[in-house]
Amino acid sequence: MRLSFVLAEMVQGLRRNLAMTVSVVLVTFVSLTFVGASILLQTQIDKLKDDWYDRVEVTAYLCPQDSPQPACAAGEATDEQVAALQAVVDDQLAGDVETVYLETKADAYEAFAERYPDGYQGVPLTEDDMQASLRLKLVDPEQDYAVVNDVLTGRPGVESVEDERAVFEPLFHALNRASILAAGLAGVMLLAAVLLITTTIRLSAHSRRRETRIMRLVGASTWFIQMPFLLEGAIAAVLGAGLAVGGLLLGVKYLVVDWLEQSVDWVAYVDAGDVLQIAPVLVGIAFLLAIVSSFLTLRRFTRV
């Protein structure tokens, strides 16, 4: 196979169908941008889960004065009840609880005063208005809450047991739905890219049917005839993938690093490294789409 001839035919084909080639590049760019955005969004969700779930605690709120809960009928939790609860955690929940911390009313008031120096919604509170609690750090926040809840709920001195994961779950559900939506749009755009690639290759093959007949007559192999067309589709698709990677890099830089990260700096965000990790995947998807679409299209036009 003469490489120079194949490359010359490929360049000629790109020139003849320049408008369609540009269309393939743009549609591939848009579709793979959606694919990359979907992957990055799922990566962001995983980072948030890893970061926030590591901080999640289960809080066992101890009985305050005048609580309506049956377990608090005797009034405010006593030191003996607190000691008994800590013993239960050490004995029955040793494999589920990593650490346990007693937050007294004084500790709770100190944290409250630091967060709300002017009082909550303008209402000043005192230490007596606070509620003591046991803060439990779980070994596996996604699995161990039910066990801890079953063991501690209803015990004397415990008003309620609350899982802080409940605060984050609606956010994760919303992000997961956004990721699914982006993946669905990416699928539609990839289908459009496939159809456009097949149309472009079909037009290119039809415009060069005279050259194809001559090559058949002189004994050229099927691969030799098909190679310029395959390269045309592959180059257009890979250029689109390159633009998608560039677009994602710019999006991460200006939207995430320069904006979100400066506004909310306590969250672990995706960065350029995550984009570069998925870049080979996007290029590979583009290349496979182009090659498969072109090969299936060319079977009827270049059969020897």
CATH classification of the domain holding 82: 3.30.70.3040
CB 257, CB 295: distance < 8 Å: no
Q: Do 138 and 239 belong together in one domain?
A: no
User: Among residues of the chain, what percentage have pLDDT more than 70?
Assistant: 76
Q: Say how far apart CA 22 and CA 267 lie, in whole Å.
A: 39
Q: Do 231 and 143 belong together in one domain?
A: no
Mean pLDDT across 280-286:
91
Q: Say how far apart CA 196 and CA 21 lie, in whole Å.
A: 9
Does residue 215 have a pLDDT over 70? no
SS3 content of the chain, % helix, strand, coil (to 5): 70, 10, 20
Note the pLDDT of residue 1.
Answer: 47
What are the tens digits of pLDDT across the range 248-277?
Answer: 999 999 888 888 777 766 677 888 899 999
What are the tens digits of pLDDT across the range 110-156?
Answer: 887 877 777 666 667 788 888 888 888 888 776 777 888 888 888 88
What are the tens digits of pLDDT across the range 226-245?
Answer: 666 677 778 888 888 999 99
Rounded to 10 degrees, what is the CA torsion of 132, 107, 122, 116?
-130
Residue 286 lies in a domain: yes
Note the pLDDT of residue 233.
Answer: 75
Q: Do 211 and 237 belong together in one domain?
A: yes
Q: Say how far apart CA 229 and CA 220 lie, in whole Å.
A: 15
CB atoms within 10 A of CB 296: 12
Number of domains composing the chain: 2
Note the pLDDT of residue 76.
Answer: 87
- Of the given ranges (4-18, 42-56, 246-260), which has the lowest mean pLDDT? 4-18
Give me the helices (H) in 208-266, please: 209-217, 222-251, 261-263
Q: Do 184 and 136 belong together in one domain?
A: no
- Give the mean pLDDT of the chain: 78
Note down the domain range covering 106: 57-163
Mean pLDDT across 36-44:
86
Domain boundary among the residues 163, 187, 208 is at 163
Q: Do 129 and 82 belong together in one domain?
A: yes
Note the pLDDT of residue 17.
Answer: 64
Q: Do 157 and 97 belong together in one domain?
A: yes
Does residue 280 have a pLDDT over 80? yes
Does residue 304 have a pLDDT over 50? no
